[in-house]
Amino acid sequence: MVFDRLTKVALILVLSAAGLFGANSPDKTRPVKWMRGIYIAESPVAQPMPEDLIWSIADARARKVKGTTLQGHGRSMMPFYQPGTVLVIAPVKFDDLRRGQTVVYYNEGSRPVAHVLVAKCKTAWRVAGLNNTSHDLEGVTAQNLFGVVVEAFHPVETSTQVASLR
């Protein structure tokens, strides 16, 4: 009886790791739905990538979506995006934005900011950094929107092996 139970548990763990059992999201890049009370299911999870490959891969992905790449430097999106995370930004129409997406917009100081869309208001979106105590004072508008984050890569040392179950 104990052997059968251990066998079942082991099988569930193997199937879960392979994405064949309901424990994992079908889309491995978006398994997290909520973080710190903010809906983030439309934001891509940062994938580990060797430091020596991160920019060539991110730039190639950006070319596919006719976008660009940026590297995060702040702590406002921690723990979801660590400082140094490379973001692939795609152009997007303001009317196509969805709650839970991470977007890049220019703040009043003309600096790019990557934060999560929280709520649609009349003419703007309320946004927030996950590590901030409140939402941003300025919203995302059609005029200050730069793009939407479609992929994210977190650098790992080249000597570190990156395993994939795909």
pLDDT in tens, the chain (166 residues): 444 443 333 333 333 333 333 333 344 555 679 988 899 999 999 999 999 999 999 999 999 999 999 999 999 999 999 999 999 999 999 999 999 999 999 999 999 999 999 999 999 999 999 989 999 999 999 999 999 999 999 999 876 455 655 5
Confidence (pLDDT) at 110: 94
Give dist(CA 140, CA 161) in Å, integer. Answer: 39
Confidence (pLDDT) at 37: 87
Confidence (pLDDT) at 1: 45
Give dist(CA 157, CA 160) in Å, integer. Answer: 5
Name every residue whose Cβ is closer than 8 Å to that of residue 141 and which is 6 or more positions away in sequence.
94, 105, 123, 124, 125
Confidence (pLDDT) at 71: 96
Residue 10 host element (H or E): helix 2-18
Give dist(CA 18, CA 16) in Å, integer. Answer: 5
Confidence (pLDDT) at 92: 98
Confidence (pLDDT) at 9: 35
Give dist(CA 103, CA 115) in Å, integer. Answer: 6
| Pair of tokens at residue 157 | 């040392």
Q: Output 53-61 pairs: Cβ under 8 A, ≥24 positions apart.
A: 54/86, 54/153, 54/155, 55/86, 57/153, 58/86, 58/87, 58/88, 58/151, 58/153, 61/88, 61/150, 61/151
Residue with tokens 């934005």: 97
Confidence (pLDDT) at 6: 39
Confidence (pLDDT) at 5: 44
Confidence (pLDDT) at 23: 34
Confidence (pLDDT) at 32: 77
pTM to 2 decimal places: 0.76
> Which value, in Å, is the radius of gyration of the alpha carbons in the chain?
18
